[in-house]
Structure 1
């Protein structure tokens, strides 16, 4: 087996996270992939991946090798696909990876123009709250605040999301209203994340305290569900500007500086000239003239 084929199998197990998933993607037996990577390790005299029950994990040497060859590999893969598809039917799908909040509140109302222009293109939308490396996914576009492989992508700012604190009147009646940020340590707080590793920007700024991170009473990785939890009186929550803070909800600490989270349109550098992706970006930055208002009611 040639070095190039062994390198291909190594790259695919990194991208898919396991021998079995990469074998399925390559349409070969799992034993073929396992043997190829094992032989590559023997020839190099180095261990490239750790075999875990849950999949594989790169060693430091494996990481160095992957970073050294991935860009060339993707270039070759792109050129081969271009030759393969030349003169044949164009692609029929486009995959976007983003967060649940961005998808439901911002992205969905803006897809109509693109779908009208490309009625035969299937848009595949996937949400995530994890770190994302585009080179390790099959996504064409990421609409996110951050990405794990910034040197290999093109980023264009799409929007800034303002995050304010809010709580229901019933919560304030029971627990009182905080007057300063220091008062938050005596309250029930709702958050997106479990740690200070803020993959989606500084959304949980209200947890930051001079003594460290405050412990949230409720952690929900969904903007809509956080809004709903605040309405139900579960605690003080970070609310995006797309949600109306009115009715039973009141803004908390309105004099505190608003937190802004920038969200970007992110594509692999090698796809910079892709007309379909460029048209998607253009359609998303066009102003829309209808506004969708989210209404959540309970019995």
Structure 2
């Protein structure tokens, strides 16, 4: 048995969920994948996987084995990459997670330039408004906003996102245009953003030179847990929203959205590129981090 190859194959089966998909990803016969996993289990005298006709699930022992060996495989890959001048020619797999709006409105439109510049980096992008655990999910880095509480992570501030309060013109024609937060909270429908992780509805926040206020209606008619869905709901005339300016700007420019209460601003939202302290800063991660800083440059006031 090629021990190292068997470990690599086992890890890919865990990630792919089936032997067939793992074989396709590795470009080797399914029979070879099956044989190597069976030999690895025999060597360890442990059952690593539960097999059904549709899917493979990991045993408790298999999950522990995957967590440790996958980390070692990444470290080995980084060592080999450095030795082979990977710093000059970044290559290999890079797993990145980010929120839906960041992916769809900023990163993905700019991504062709990155792929052209670094053709040997295989990007695996996770797109979700759910915060993930970098170590548990074996992700190289994430792009996330808000205040940071985990001091075990390295965070590079890449942007300050401005928010605006807006609504569709046809909604405002039907319901009038609010002039103050109090009027907005008392007389208007608000489309709230709801956290996937906590299910908590996020209030609308406002500040001017004299005071700061929050609005959170009890029993609100509509809340969504995806920022792109919040934009769609606002465009559909379902109510008033606070949206990141980078999402709203194209629709403000073409008249599909209208800014309101411009004297009342929401504080800018810090955005970070985050990665674990123990994660070796490989050439591919360094290349991606530098590229991200350039992409978000227009969103930094400093």
The bucket for the TM-score relative to the shorter chain is 0.5 to 0.7
Mapping of residues 201-280 of structure 1, within 5 Å: 205-206=202-203, 216=222, 222=228, 226-227=230-231, 229-242=233-246, 243-244=248-249, 248-251=257-260, 258=267, 260=269, 262-266=271-275, 269-274=278-283, 277-280=285-288
Q: Find out whether 1:281 has 2:289 as its counterpart.
A: yes
Residue 187 of structure 1: aligned partner: 189
In structure 2, do the counterparts of structure 1 residues 183 and 261 end up closer, same or farther at CA, with 3 Å as the change threshold? farther
Contact 1:231 1:249 in 2 (8 A): no
Q: Structure 1: give runs of 5+ residues left out of the alignment.
A: 292-299
Change beyond 3 A, Cα 1:181–1:3: farther
Q: Distance in 1 between matches of 2:263 and 2:60?
A: 47
Unaligned runs of at least 5 residues, structure 2: 205-214
Scaled by the length of structure 1, the TM-score of the pair is 0.61
Structure 2 counterpart SS, 1:78: helix
TM-score, normalised to structure 2, is: 0.61
CA RMSD of aligned residues (A): 5.1
Partner of 1:166: 166
**Aligned residue pairs, count:** 273
Aligned residues of 2:49 and 2:57 also touching (Cα < 8 A): yes
Whole-Å Cα distance in 2 between the matches of residues 138 and 68 of structure 1?
11
Report the secondary structure of 1:205's partner residue.
coil
Where in structure 2 are the equivalents of 1:1-299 lying within 5 Å?
1=1, 3-41=3-41, 44=44, 46-51=46-51, 55-82=55-82, 85=84, 90-91=89-90, 98-103=98-103, 105-107=105-107, 120-122=117-119, 126=125, 128-129=127-128, 142-145=142-145, 154-175=154-175, 179=182, 187=189, 189=191, 191=193, 196-197=196-197, 205-206=202-203, 216=222, 222=228, 226-227=230-231, 229-242=233-246, 243-244=248-249, 248-251=257-260, 258=267, 260=269, 262-266=271-275, 269-274=278-283, 277-282=285-290, 284-285=292-293
